Structure formats: C-alpha cells, structure tokens
Amino acid sequence: MLYIRRVHKWKCTRLLSIAVVLYTVMVCWEDLDHHVLSHVKSYTYRSLVNKYDFLRSSFHVAPNSNHQNDGVDGEKYQLLINHPDKCGSGGDGDNVFLLLFVKSSPQNLEPRQAIRETWGNETYLWSELKVNVRVVFVLGVDPDSRQRSQVQTALLLEDKAHGDLIQQNFDDTFHNLTAKLMLQFQWFYHYCPKALFVMSADDDIFVHTPNLIRYLQQVVRSDTGVTDFWVGHVHSGSPPNRRMKSKYYVSRDVYPWISYPDYTAGAGFVVSNDVSKKIYQATLMLKPSIYIDDVFMGICAHIMGVSPQKNAYFLGEGKAHPCIYDDMITSHGHTKDMHALWETVADPAVYSMYQGFFEIVYCTAIRMILLIW
C-alpha cells in the first residue's frame, strides 16, 4: 500500500511539474519564440527560402512610380545643407580612397566633434597614411518642431565652421533610418561617384582608421580586387522581430517571411565603388517599406546580386581591447571615451605591454572571447 502511494505521489509530482513547465512556456512563448525558436527556424529552413525570389516582386517599384524620382535632386526630400564639391571640383573625386558617411542626429554635436578630432580627422589620415579620405555627417531635421529652428541655427553654424554636414528634409527618427541610408548612396552617386570605397558608420562607433585603411589597401592589392566588395559584421538567417513592443518590430503585412537576406550591421560596413552604384540603383527600384536600414540594405544588395563578406574585426557591439588593437576595425557603443580610446590605440607603449609569453596567452584568450561574443 505504501509503495502504491509513493508511485501515485511520484506520478502526481511529475504531472504537476509538466503542467508548470507547459504553463511557463505558454506565458513566455512570445519571448521564447523570438529569442530562440525563430532563430532555429530561420536556420533550419533557410535552404527553402535562400533564393528570396519573392523580394523582387514584393518590393519592386513600377517604372512609372514616383519613387524613381526620389534621388537627391528629387522632390521627396529637399537637401537643406550640402557640399557638392566635398570630393573635388565637379564631384570627380578621382583620388578619393574612402568616402566615409557618419550617420548622426541633429543634436549630436559632441559625438561629431569627437570624431572630427580622432578617427575621422581628414588631415591626420592624409598626413600619416597618405590616403584621401572624405568624412561627411548625414542627418535629417530635428523631429521636435518646438526646438527645430534653434537646432537648425546651431547646425548651420557648425557646418560653417567645418563644412562636413549633409542634411535632408526628413524627420531624424529611428523610423527614417532607411531614408538616411538612401541619402548616403544618392549623395555618393551624384557628388562623389569615383570614390574607391564607401563606408557607413554610426556616430557612436569607434573606427580604427589606420587598420581600416591598411585592410582596404590589401584588398586593392589582392587578386580578387575591389568588385562586389561588401564587408562588415554579417547577420545570416536573421528572423524578423515580431514583438510589437520592440523598436525593431516588423509586421507580417510588411514582411511575412521567416528570415531576411544576409546583411551587415548598420553600425559600420564598407562597400566598393561598384556595389555603391548598385545599391543606389536598387534604392530607385525598391519600396523603402522596411525602416530598419541594415535590413533594407540587405534587400537592396540581394536584388542586385551582392552578398556580404564577414570580417570578425568589425566587432558590432563588442568593446575595444588592447589585445586586438592590431586588427580591430570597428567597435560599437562609444559615446564618452572616443578621445581616450584614440590616444590609447595610437600609443606604441600599449602594444609593447602585451609581447611576453603570459601576455600572449592572455591575449589569445581575450581574442577568442571577443570574437566568439
């Protein structure tokens, strides 16, 4: 009798445990589906959708559509601040090695100034690396109509001092990031069409420009050359975010499929001249219905037959560390430490501190952690 009671008690306990687990899964299903199952599904069934033939028919704009006139000279968004001669008289830009767009917001004067004084300093890059780099900040207008006039006056004064702002007449909000992406490639096409490489970066990213320049020079010298070149922190098989509370939410009406084409993180990526022109052409043909700029970039590139290349040293959200200063290209999430980081990576003493046996072992472990992360 005692044995039977124990068996029944064990069965009841097991049933209760299963019920608790099932209840927890049901309650947390949305989070679980987004963070785990959606990724599993996107990778598992990726082979079934990796042609993405639906993109051409779903996002293509009819030839008579007004979207084909949405270039920098079009009517949709007026250029408020522009520097057509930034790459040289007439926009030829024959000797521009890298055109570097920094996505910024109207109020972000401090980050812009920090970039001008550190990794985005055109004079330093020419004097030390002997390459012609052009840095411009792209932005919209302040979305708050109450302070727009005051902010715009400050922007005009800033641009008068530095001559590096490109502004278009759209509200500078998260949901207009695609408009900012389109502005970059439109401006390249019209005003700097001969730049060998084009980079897009956020204003809270640190770019180790000496490493970047050396890396791109190696690409130029390689047998593969600089055609169909698109490099960054690659996202493969990423599913749309279906959580309505997320700022990355994309409804099934806008994008009903289970994964996006491969794309690079919008925080920092580099493309070659020919890819830049292809992306510009794609922006004229596609509806910018997805406001997530890096995803829209992936759709544009896929339509034009271009795939991204992964480089582990485009670190995404990874933080900079002395152990990877030799190879690091970008590190995302720097708002207050831009000057300190720039001084550190330029200090030869920092590199000599990590030359011993134990230091090499330590740095090997750090590299593995950072790159896996």
Tell me: pLDDT of 362 over 70. yes
Amino acid at 268: G
Lowest mean pLDDT among 45-54, 85-94, 181-190: 45-54
Amino acid at 324: I
Cβ–Cβ under 8 Å, residues 286 and 54: no
Tell me: the pLDDT tens digits for 173-212? 999 999 999 999 999 999 999 999 999 999 999 999 999 9
Residue 38 CA to residue 243 CA, distance in Å, equals 12
Contacts of residue 19, defined as CB under 8 A and 6 or more positions apart, other chains included, come to: none
Tell me: pLDDT of 66 over 60. no
Tell me: pLDDT of 33 over 60. no
304: its two tokens? 């034009």
Report the CATH architecture of 53-310: Alpha-Beta Complex (3.90)
Residue listed under structure tokens 């990590």: 354
Residue 103 CA to residue 136 CA, distance in Å, equals 9
Tell me: the pLDDT tens digits for 276-294? 999 999 998 887 788 899 9
Q: State the pLDDT at residue 335.
A: 80
152: its two tokens? 């715009």
What mean pLDDT value characterizes the chain? 80
Percentage of residues in the chain with pLDDT exceeding 70? 72
Tell me: pLDDT of 228 over 70. yes
Q: Which band of pLDDT confidence, cut at 50, 70 and 90, is reported for residue 328?
A: confident
Residue listed under structure tokens 């690396």: 129
CB burial readout 239-253, b (16+ within 10 A) else e: bbebeeeeeeebeee
Contacts of residue 237, defined as CB under 8 A and 6 or more positions apart, other chains included, come to: 39, 42, 43, 46, 259, 262
Cβ–Cβ under 8 Å, residues 28 and 236: no
154-163 CB contacts, 8 Å cutoff, 24+ apart = 154/109, 155/81, 155/106, 156/81, 158/109, 158/112, 159/81, 162/116, 163/83, 163/86
**Across 74-89, average pLDDT:** 84
pTM over 0.75? The answer is yes
Question: Domain segments of the chain: what residues?
Answer: 2-44, 53-310, 322-372
